[in-house]
Amino acid sequence: MGERSSQEPPEMCDIDINIAVNGEASQSSDYKKYVANRAIDGSNEINLYNDSCAHTLHDLEPWWRLDLKESYSIGTIVISGRSDCCLERLSGAQIRIGNSPDNNNPVCSTITNVSVPTTTYCCNGMEGQYISVVIPRRYEYLTLCEVKVHKDPSIKLCW
Ligand SMILES: [Ca+2]
């Protein structure tokens, strides 16, 4: 908040806070040292080899899940895949939000644009404590370098 202008309304700061960093992440399996919490370490580093990405093994329907510790009304979720290769593996991944501690909550969006590593998804106030990214119906690696979560309303632009 220190960098922000004093003319800016305080609530603008509040709704832009990334609440993901206060949560705890898990995933279907760990590829080497690339554990789930690396996707909520607050870093903008999206090259896998710079140690800030989460990466599963080649699982059937791999998943990554964030426990926000309490339920929030979610505005936007900013998802960054890896920049160094293999972004197409994220195609078809579902972003789910809800209060069930599994990966079967309602779908906010499905990742279809894998031409750029970072995309913002609008969830329009969907409620939930858990945010999952799941790749359904196939064997795949799931790699997420950062997942940022903003409460609703969010000042982030969608898509
Ligand atoms: Ca990261």
Ligand 1 centre to CA of 150 (Å) is 16
Ligand 1 centre to CA of 144 (Å) is 8
Ligand 1 centre to CA of 81 (Å) is 10
**158 located within any domain:** no
pTM score, two decimals? Answer: 0.90
**Hey, which residues does 25 pair with through a beta bridge?**
66
**5 located within any domain:** no
End-to-end CA, the chain: 25
Ligand 1 centre to CA of 45 (Å) is 6
**159 located within any domain:** no
**1 located within any domain:** no
Taking the C-alpha atoms of residue 107 and residue 133, their distance in angstroms, rounded to an integer, is: 10
**125 located within any domain:** yes
The per-residue pLDDT for 2 is 42
Ligand 1 centre to CA of 6 (Å) is 30
Q: What is the CATH number of the domain that holds 48?
A: 2.60.120.260
Show the tokens assigned to 128. Answer: 């939930």
Domain that holds residue 90: 10-151
Number of domains in the chain: 1
Ligand 1 centre to CA of 18 (Å) is 13
- pLDDT of 39-53, one tens digit each? 999 999 999 999 999
The per-residue pLDDT for 12 is 52
Taking the C-alpha atoms of residue 56 and residue 144, their distance in angstroms, rounded to an integer, is: 9
